[in-house]
Amino acid sequence: MKELLASPYFQKGLISFITLVIAYLIAALTTRIINKNIKDLKKRHSARKFTVYIATFLSILIIIPVWINKSTSLTTILGLMGAGLTLALHQPILSIAGWLLILIRKPYETGDRIEVGGIKGDVVDIRLFYTSVLEIGNWVDADQSTGRIIHCPNNKIFTEAIFNYTKGFEYIWNEIKIVVTYESDWKKAKNIILDVTTKDQIDLGETVRGKIQRLSKKYMIHYEKLTPFVWINIVDFGVELTLRYLTDARKRRSTQDEICGAILDRFNQEPDVDFAYPTYRIYRQGEKP
């Protein structure tokens, strides 16, 4: 027993264990204080993650010197370890580099709605190796949540385009296509659509214009027309009216529902405006078309 206690490996292991226990207790105590005093969910989550990272980093700084002999060159050890880890852990190392880039450059943050590598959703957590996203879209229309959480490796940031729906400018352009018959008064239909959209759409006005002005100081971006407008097109079975309007990225489904409901009510009041839809006829053999 005395030989075991006198063993340098046992002493180093004991010091390492005690260090980890103390770090865990400090992190747990700090987390309790954070949960009690910080009410904002996003800030509380970030503070908890920061506490864990600091505790882990300090533990490593304390444990590494314990296991390195004085006669051993620290530079040599680190060089060999670095070469081995680079070959064996290429993807995880890229994920860590991606995590650092996310923290520093902030292409997205917790709570942002993003699309990376075909994955769309709201960011619910950013960890060392992957970003957790609450999925939207897929088999569900209009950017609604599917309920699935997807873990996307952070190394995707180096190889995939990142679409951020909400950072800096949280508004997107949405389009609704409506087709009326050739016999309909399409000009009246166009005016009805614009009137409904202007009344029922949330008044973005100066809020959007101010955001665009601030965004233009960072990016080469410029919009001249922010109000809703309607494009006209001739299709096989009628006149297609495409409404284009700005809406909050998270309210695309609700604003489209309100606008479509109001358009239906107004069209029902107009005898000279009718919806068009594809039709076909079946002829019996011998009948003339």
- Nearest one of 259, 256, 236 to 248, comparing CA atoms: 256
Average pLDDT over residues 112-127: 90
Residue 286 lies in a domain: no
| Residue 13 pLDDT greater than 90, yes or no | no
- What's the pLDDT at 191? 93
- The answer to whether residues 95 and 36 belong to one domain is yes
- The answer to whether residues 93 and 116 belong to one domain is no
- The answer to whether residues 83 and 136 belong to one domain is no
More confident residue, 219 or 77: 219
- The answer to whether residues 122 and 143 belong to one domain is yes
Digit-coded pLDDT (tens) for 267-285? 999 999 999 888 766 666 6
Residue 127 lies in a domain: yes
Lowest mean pLDDT of 92-106, 218-232, 263-277, name the range: 218-232
CA–CA separation, 229 vs 133, rounded Å?
Answer: 34
- The answer to whether residues 37 and 61 belong to one domain is yes
| Residue 123 pLDDT greater than 90, yes or no | yes
- The answer to whether residues 196 and 179 belong to one domain is yes
CA–CA separation, 218 vs 214, rounded Å?
Answer: 7
Q: Predicted confidence band at 82 (pLDDT cuts at 50, 70, 90)?
A: low
- The answer to whether residues 155 and 191 belong to one domain is no
Digit-coded pLDDT (tens) for 125-163? 999 899 999 998 888 877 788 889 999 999 998 989 899
- The answer to whether residues 156 and 188 belong to one domain is no
First to last CA, the chain: 104
Contacts made by residues 134-142, CB under 8 angstroms, sequence distance 24+: 141/253, 142/252, 142/253, 142/256
Residue 289 lies in a domain: no
Structure tokens belonging to residue 198: 């202007």
Which DSSP symbol is given to 217? Answer: T
- The answer to whether residues 183 and 200 belong to one domain is yes
- What's the pLDDT at 188? 94
Residue 125: strand pairing partners:
132
Q: Predicted confidence band at 263 (pLDDT cuts at 50, 70, 90)?
A: very high
Average pLDDT over residues 236-261: 89
Residue span of the structural domain in which 61 resides: 8-102
- Tokens 């299709």 locate to 235
Residue 185 lies in a domain: yes
Q: Predicted confidence band at 70 (pLDDT cuts at 50, 70, 90)?
A: low
Residue 243 lies in a domain: yes
Residue 283 lies in a domain: no
| Residue 27 pLDDT greater than 70, yes or no | yes
Residue 95 lies in a domain: yes
Residue 194: which CATH number?
A: 3.30.70.100
- The answer to whether residues 175 and 193 belong to one domain is yes
- Tokens 């599917």 locate to 146
| Residue 48 pLDDT greater than 60, yes or no | yes
Q: Which residues of 143-164 are buried (b: 16+ CB within 10 A; e: fewer)?
A: beeeeeebebbbbbbeeeeeeb
| Residue 10 pLDDT greater than 80, yes or no | no
- The answer to whether residues 23 and 93 belong to one domain is yes
Alpha helices in the chain (DSSP H): 2-6, 8-37, 41-67, 74-88, 90-105, 186-200, 205-216, 252-268
More confident residue, 111 or 221: 111
Lowest mean pLDDT of 24-38, 69-83, 118-132, 139-153, name the range: 69-83
- What's the pLDDT at 4? 59
Q: How many domains does the chain have?
A: 3
Contacts of 174 (CB under 8 A, 6+ apart): 244, 245, 246, 247, 252, 255, 256
- The answer to whether residues 155 and 188 belong to one domain is no
- Given 164, 182, 213, the domain boundary residue is 164
Radius of gyration, CA atoms only, the chain: 30
Residue 2 lies in a domain: no
Q: Of all residues in the chain, what percent carry a pLDDT higher than 90? A: 27
CB 27, CB 52: distance < 8 Å: yes
Average pLDDT over residues 26-50: 87
| Residue 232 pLDDT greater than 90, yes or no | yes
The whole-chain average pLDDT of the chain stands at 82
- What's the pLDDT at 151? 92
